[in-house]
Amino acid sequence: MERKGKAVVGGISIILVIGAVVGCVVVVSTRNKGKDKLSSSSKAVIAMCEPTDYKEACVDSLAGAAKNQSASPKDLIRSAVEYTVQQVKAAIEKSGIIIKEAKDVNSTGKMAFDDCNELLESAIESLQYSLLTLVDADMPKINEKEADLKNWFSAAMSFQESCIDGIPYEDLKKQMSEAMQNAEQLTSNALAIVSSLSNILGNFNIPLKPNNNPSTARRLLDVEMETDEHGTFPTWFSAADRKLIAKQNKKNNNAGNGQAVKPNAVVAKDGSGQYKTIGAALAAYPKGFQGRYVIYVKAGIYNEYVTVAKNQNNVFMYGDGPRETMVTGRKSFADGITTQDTATFIVVGHGFIARGMGFQNTAGPEKHQAVALRVQSDMSAFFNCRMDGYQDTLYVQAYRQFYRNCVISGTVDFIFGDSTTVIQNSLIIVRKPLANQKNTVTANGRKDQRESTGLVIQNCRIVPEEALFPLRFQIMSYLGRPWKMYSRTVIMESEFGDFIQPAGWLEWQGNFALDTLYYAEYANRGPGAVTTGRVKWKGFHVITDRNVALQFTPGNFLAGGLWLKGTGAPYFLGLKN
């Protein structure tokens, strides 16, 4: 797709050609400001569209609102988002036509288009979240909502891209990509507008009020702790959170003393609970439930495919340990199933928390893509959990996610997706792949340079499994490769051994994304962390400035100070050292 920017003539004049709003060509020159006779609505459109990459699409999206001479910046932004929603809905309708007219499409192809519709519906929901924010927001204080808006627009882009990626036929993929072009461009534009709000509102003489959000207003080097009758917690933990977690800790530390936390549902294979399957417990989730819904899954191997649905928010699911409570499956791409549908455990409902559970896909390396856990839950967190597989083990698909004290194993691209994710204090195990494969720990899917997404691995250990260790110099292992144009992965304060190739990172295909990606390492340790032999790509960085590294800590990257407090587990928001 062509990216249209502003044209600079002779270093003096900025020319913007905009015809869709006022029915004519408008030229704005910095030499003739005094003679500028544009209507206020046209000026507003120019200001709003100036930072976008797809200006013609931007103008079209603002045409309706711009007819109103008194339209406010909020009105214009809302109009752009509403128009984007219409275009996504049009893409859904087009997808139905494409698959209906397609010939010789197997079940995998049909499944891919079903996935497409589901993903585009998720994109619409993300855009609608932004609309709700814009309705309620006071424009001078809109910067306090900037992180949320970027998160939702980024997720909408991720869902749109996932739709196209999942189609296994190149001709149908091309048709669907063309059908979604307007929606993708408009979502990118919305993200560009939100990313430039201070400049845009300045053009309207609307000053932004200071951001009092503690997660972005100051650096969070660590969590202040205090001790009370329930134990030691971050200072901002509520009394209810402290009591709940204290009970959970009591149960974990004193298993023979009975269950301290009273769950809403108990799952047990032996029939000692209310339900024998996790799916049955989730099916009992009350409609319109408010608060935290707690599900205790007793020790056992649960051979089932589980989905925490989009209307099942704020589920807290805990087990008896990641090796004791295990959810297992073996679906794979080689068996004719789309990658996202191979997942053993899928989380869609927002605010999901898991503790002491295992998720695995046992399809094996010969079955290629086989997901153990797929997550598109905003503000989700996993503590003391285990994700085991080979290729594509953990699909961090979208939104903000946090992993702490977990074990994640795999071979090819086994931590992948386009979310805003931090993995902290965890063990990452690289397994033995097929004979002709290379190991890549990560494959980030960030497509647009303004997306707030990316993958951060902090204070973790990256190690080879026992079967790989004697072959670690014959089988090449890398920290990651760029799945999309603006792939972003940061590994910091972590330890990895000599099995990581000196180059550190692997190309996806030729020179693709090597200049536009952002790969970085900071304060890592171990023989595999030596950076003197690293790739010489323009997009690769060895971070030496502590302030740069702080941008990728949970307190800043996830705006974690506002929501991690509700997860009830230890973590730190800044740098470890």
What residues act catalytically?
392, 413
Q: Answer whether 376's CB lies under 8 Å from 348's CB.
A: yes
**What are the E-state strand segments in 110-238?**
225-228, 231-234
What is the Cα–Cα distance from 242 to 244, expressed in whole angstroms? 6
Tell me the β-bridge partners of 90: none
User: Longest Cα pair distance anywhere in the chain, in angstroms?
Assistant: 83
What is the Cα–Cα distance from 358 to 348, expressed in whole angstroms? 18
What is the Cα–Cα distance from 444 to 449, expressed in whole angstroms? 13
Ramachandran class of 392: left when φ > 0, alpha when ψ lies in -120 to 50, beta otherwise: left
Structure token digits, residue 459: 């204070």
What is the Cα–Cα distance from 337 to 321, expressed in whole angstroms? 30
Q: Answer whether 207's CB lies under 8 Å from 129's CB.
A: no
Q: Answer whether 389's CB lies under 8 Å from 360's CB.
A: yes
At residue 115, the 3 state secondary structure works out as helix
Instruction: Report in angstroms the alpha-carbon separations of 63 from 45, 69, 82, 143.
Output: 9, 12, 12, 25
Contacts of 572 (CB under 8 A, 6+ apart): 222, 223, 424, 553, 554
Walk across the sheet containing 265-267 and list its strands. Answer: 265-267, 293-297, 315-319, 353-355, 380-383, 400-404, 420-424, 454-458, 488-492, 518-522, 540-542
What is the Cα–Cα distance from 184 to 531, expressed in whole angstroms? 37
Amino acid (one-letter) located at 386: R
